[in-house]
Amino acid sequence: RLAAQRAAKVDAQRNLLEIVGGVRIEGETTVENFMLKSDVIKSSVQGVLKGAEIVRNPKNPEEEYTYLSDGTVRVTLRVPLNGFGGLADVLIPSPVSGEGTKKGDPKKKSGSGDGVFTGLVIDATGLKIKPALRPRVVDEEGQEVYGTGSVERDFAIRNGVVGYLKNVEKAQENERVADNAHVVKGARPEGPARTDVVLSQEDADEIRKLAKKMSFLDQCRVIFVID
């Protein structure tokens, strides 16, 4: 049984590496692309996989491995996408902005109140947006409105750069952006991989104005509503 357990875990790690390799980071870049370009990233990702958690058998929580009638052994592994020690910690650059990790401005408003927004919901339904670890929001001229260059890295790692949901109403109620989310409609996808969202110039300018006074972008309080 011990030999079968070891073999099952090695096989599961191999399968997990294949799954993780397909995770999209940004645009046309996947984790596999990053690993091919950088031995440091490759070894870091492999380190995360070696620390993969065993998912216990739901029918028997005491059991890490499932023993099948034909003598084989099954094991399920999982790794965190977000959080320190997870994939985001490896794949989100440090520092984010290239000039030192961005820190919150104490003058910005973060709580609720009259005229204070606590998050941003971008309705991207119908645009066929694909999830990514490092998506961007840009204006009609291609200038970045929101992305890894405008967030605090700790928030990006813990919560992800954006959240993804499939319903605008539920997104507005989500704790990530509640209690008063600013809702805008995405104009079109950006790039061949359709991971980024273009906003109208009017909406982009409005968000930039809000970002100067409020901290919801710094803290990654952004949700994309996708199909």
CA 53 to chain centre: 19
Whole-angstrom distance, CA of residue 66 vs CA of residue 203:
53
pLDDT tens-digit map of 28-83? 899 999 999 999 999 999 999 999 999 998 788 888 999 888 888 999 999 999 99
What is the chain's percent helix, strand, coil content, to nearest 5?
30, 20, 50
**pLDDT tens sequence across 84-135:** 999 999 998 765 544 444 555 555 666 655 578 999 999 999 999 999 999 9
- Write down the H helix ranges in 55-94: 87-91
The strand pair at 29-30 and 24-26 is best described as antiparallel
pTM for the whole structure: 0.85
Distance CA 124, CA 226 (A): 5
